[in-house]
Amino acid sequence: MTIHIGAAAGDIAETVLMPGDPYRARWAAETFLKAPKLVNEVRGMLGYTGTWNGHRVTIQGSGMGMPSLSIYVNELIRDYGAKTLIRIGSCGGMQEHVNLRDVIVAMTATSVSTPSLGIFRELNFAPSADWSLLRAAVAAAESKGTPTHVGGIYSSDVFYDERPDLNEQMVRHGILGVEMEAAELYTLALRHGCRALAVLTVSDHLLTGEALPSEDREKSFGDMVEIALSAAFA
């Protein structure tokens, strides 16, 4: 048991999927895992452990933003022995060829700052995904026929962004989508010798203004979860 995770020793699997929304963690666990067990509900941040195709999996909410995710990832790795961590979440599309419901597999994650900035100081560290996970996720997406894009994403510090000039540069430099967590996940995984990946569903679009209704988002996220699970155990 840690400050933010109430799971007992042995309750957390080495493979952890991490949606931001704790209710999405519950939905994913009940939909994709066999015999999911609630192992954490501290501060309402739900976590479940069960099995998928015979493999133990934990699905643990991370909250919104890199500072929140950093808390859970640090504790999952240092106190519970997590080895593979895959973010499953929504993102905003930033390229014309990226459509609603498409999946983005993030090769790199650009950011203005992260909770790890104090360690790197003047260094512009480039956090990237684990290659074996990325390759397996792309193969899984191709086998399912899911429209998928592979490349860089932008992990923003803020949800209500007031920097259209910065977004313009992200678009100009080929960034596929924007979310709020992956850059710190990749950094922490690299620091501790773990594997990490972000598999994201496009739920809205910065260029077109399109957005999925909230009730449609859950139904559209199934491919993302299946891709993540397949990649973890490829």
**pLDDT value for 214:** 74
Indicate the pLDDT class of residue 95, thresholds 50, 70 and 90. very high
Indicate the pLDDT class of residue 219, thresholds 50, 70 and 90. low
Residue 181 has pLDDT above 90, yes or no: yes
Regarding pTM above 0.75, the answer is: yes
For the chain, the average pLDDT equals 96
Buried b (16+ CB within 10 A) or exposed e, 13-26: bbbbbbbbbbebbb
**Max Cα-Cα span within the chain:** 48
Tokens of 63: 């909250």
Point out the annotated binding site for phosphate: 20, 24, 43, 87-90
Q: What is the pLDDT of residues 16-72, one digit of tens each?
A: 999 999 999 999 999 999 999 999 999 999 999 999 999 999 999 999 999 999 999
User: Quick check: is 204 catalytic?
Assistant: yes
User: Active-site residue among 79, 157, 161, 204?
Assistant: 204
Which letter does DSSP use for residue 43 in this model? G
For residue 168, CA distances in Å to 133, 183, 230 come to 30, 20, 34
Which letter does DSSP use for residue 154 in this model? E
In the chain, what are the domains?
Answer: 15-232 (3.40.50.1580)
Point out the annotated binding site: 4, 20, 24, 43, 87-90, 179-181, 203-204
